[in-house]
Structures are given as structure tokens and as C-alpha cells.
Amino acid sequence: MSIEMKTKFGQIDISNEVIATISGGAAIDCYGIVGMASKNQIRDGLTEILRKENFTRGVIVRQEEGQVHIDMYIIVSYGTKISEVAHNVQSKVKYTLEKTVGLTVDSVNIYVQGVRVANP
């Protein structure tokens, strides 16, 4: 699936993988984030930190009735306030997608998959 945007110059189609990669990159830049996690971790019981090329496994982009919703699976750093980290990720992802793609996101849902000690 892709998101279609109409401008005065024509139509732009942006794939969900591109939006997921931009969202994952924005989330990684936030303080308190150790990395992105796979959305299938609950079933596996293992937490694996995803690399940049696999951000799409930790981000789900959904379109419902013309609205865009993003689900993100993250691993936070030990000793940080989880609610503040999640709020910062939500704000940064919304801002980044608005500025880089021109896409208004209706909701960014954060799922914390684990807590790890950050690498020094």
C-alpha cells in the first residue's frame, strides 16, 4: 500500500516502507531510545534491536478512512521516564513526517518492547 497525495503539480505516491523508515530514523534520534524492536517480539519472547535497514519491521503504517496511524515498537534506555520518552518520540515522528513528506499523521502509538542499559 502507499499513501497518495495530490498537489497542484500532480499526484505523489509514497510507500509505507518509506514512511516507516523515516519514522524509525526520527525515533532513534530521540533521547532515551536504545533502538527499534520487531513487532513480532511478543510471540517470540526475545527482544532484538533492529538495524537501520530493518526499521520497517518495527513500524506499522495504517490507513483508515483517510487517516494515517503509525504503530512503533521501541526499546527504551534504563533509568529514563518511559512516558516522557514515548511522548518525545510521538512529537518528533509527527514533526519529521510533516516537514519531510508533508504528511499529517493522526496518531503515533508507542509500544515499549523492553528496557535495556544503553551502550556508553
In tens, the pLDDT along 3-27 reads 888 888 999 899 988 999 899 989 9
In tens, the pLDDT along 75-86 reads 899 999 999 999
Sign of the Cα pseudo-torsion (82, 107, 25, 63, in order): positive
In tens, the pLDDT along 54-109 reads 667 789 999 888 889 999 998 899 999 999 999 999 999 999 999 999 889 999 99
Domains of the chain: 2-116 (3.30.70.1350)
Q: What is the CA radius of gyration of the chain?
A: 15
Q: Which residue has the cell 510533516?
A: 98
